[in-house]
Amino acid sequence: MREPVNRTILLLDIERFSRRDDVVQAALRRTLNTVIDQTLVAAGVEATQQYREDRGDGLIVLISGDVAKTAVLRSLLTVTPELLHDHNRLASGSAQMRLRMVLAAGEIAHDPQAGTTGGLVGHDLNQAFRLLDSDALREALAGRTDRHCVLAVSTPVYEGVVRHGHRGVRPELFRRTSVTVKDGVLSAWLHQGGAPTAPEEEVAGEPPAPAGQGRPAPAASPGPQAPPQAPSRPRPEPQERTGGAVFHFHGAPVVHGPVVGGDLHAVSGGQVTGDVILGGSVTKPAPAARADDARTEDGSRP
């Protein structure tokens, strides 16, 4: 038996593989290898830096310890979903492929036997397989029909890589879960996908809203206001007219300017003689008394 060495462990399993017929299963296996080829090339993994083992409905991929786990993780989160999307949008319903994936790390020994393939030995590898077969990971994929794959990372990968928030790796998108296995409980971190929800900001000086109640909507800011207008003056009540304007002309009148029927605002030019009465009736003054008509108080002439 060879000495164990540290390896990055990548496990993949095709959802509902056993429900397909042999022709579809063969096509899915070819597609899976193509997807992993392109994923690892995008991560910068050379052919000499990886070991693959066919598991029928999935793959075991061991990656050399000198390959950055951050590069592999970024590729699994971005390249793999896009490749699966491109395949599924053109494939028939029976050839659709969705994956469960586990990224772990640990000590692996290779103990091949004559005439056989495989021969991988390691406790960390066994624990990674238990995560891959867990109900938590199966339910995470079954409950997200809009996703093509789900990824779980082991606690050592989360603590050593994910939680530090390296470029392209967002720890807020991982959720911790517990997996019950036959010899205890394992912790794993499931990638949720999507973008994180920003926490609601609290307004300075205001207590947070009670549970189940949202913050009241802020009052609408007043828009631009029209400049104040001077109050309109009440119009005078119309008065009954007892008479119109009376004009006495000697000769033909000449008027330079507007002639207004009704209320007269302006008259310019021309010659006006005689009595002019505006807005009233004509009242002639009493004639002056003649000397011969005068009487004294006793009725006698003076």
pLDDT digits (tens, 9 = 90+) for 21-52: 999 999 999 999 999 999 999 999 999 999 99
pLDDT of residue 202: 37
Q: Is residue 145 part of a domain?
A: yes
pLDDT of residue 145: 81
Could you give the maximum distance between any two Cα atoms of the chain, in Å? 175
- Name the pairing type of β-strands 50-54 and 58-64: antiparallel
pLDDT at 146: 84
pLDDT at 210: 46
Beta carbons of 256 and 268 less than 8 angstroms apart? yes
Instruction: Convert the pLDDT of each residue in 231-276 to its tens digit.
Output: 556 555 555 554 555 555 555 555 555 544 555 444 455 555 555 5
> What's the alpha-carbon Rg for the chain, to the nearest Å?
51
**Residue 96 to residue 87: CA distance in whole angstroms:** 8
| Domain assignment present for 114 | yes
pLDDT tens-place string over residues 185-209: 999 999 987 544 444 443 334 444 4
pLDDT at 102 (0 to 100): 97
Answer yes or no: is 276 within a domain. no
Per-residue model confidence as pLDDT tens digits over 132-168: 999 999 999 998 888 999 999 999 999 999 999 999 9
Average pLDDT over residues 167-173: 93
128 inside domain: yes
DSSP-assigned letters across all residues of 164-212: GT-TT--GGGEEEEEEEETTEEEEEEEE--S-PPPPPPPPTTSPPPPTT
pLDDT digits (tens, 9 = 90+) for 208-243: 444 444 444 445 555 555 555 655 565 555 555 545
Q: At 24, which CATH number?
A: 3.30.70.1230
Domain total for the chain?
1
Assess if residue 12 is contained within a domain.
yes
What average pLDDT score do residues 1-9 get?
A: 91
Range of the domain at 131: 5-191
The per-residue pLDDT for 195 is 47
236 vs 128, 230, 239, CA distance in Å? 97, 18, 9
Secondary structure class of 64 (helix, strand, coil): strand
* DSSP state for residue 17 in the 8-state scheme: G
Whether residue 152 is contained in a domain is answered as: yes
Please name the amino acid found at residue 250: H
More confident residue, 114 or 108: 108
More confident residue, 202 or 80: 80
Q: What is the pLDDT of residue 112?
A: 86
Is the model more confident about 6 or about 200? Answer: 6
Provide the pLDDT for residue 200.
Answer: 40
Burial 93-123 (b: 16+ CB within 10 A, else e): eeebbbbbbbbbbbebebeeeeeeeeebebe
Which two structure tokens, joined as six digits, stand for 31? 């597609």
Q: What is the C-alpha separation between 3 and 193, in angstroms, rounded?
A: 38
pTM: 0.64
Pairing label, strands 58-64, 99-110: unpaired
Q: What is the pLDDT of residue 196?
A: 44
pLDDT at position 211: 44
> What is the predicted pLDDT for the residue at 118?
84
At residue 245, the pLDDT reads: 52
pLDDT at residue 231 in the model: 56
Q: Examine residue 212 and state whether it is found in any structural domain, yes or no.
A: no
Query: How confident is the prediction for the chain on average, in pLDDT?
Result: 78
265 part of a folded domain: no
pLDDT at 66 over 70: yes
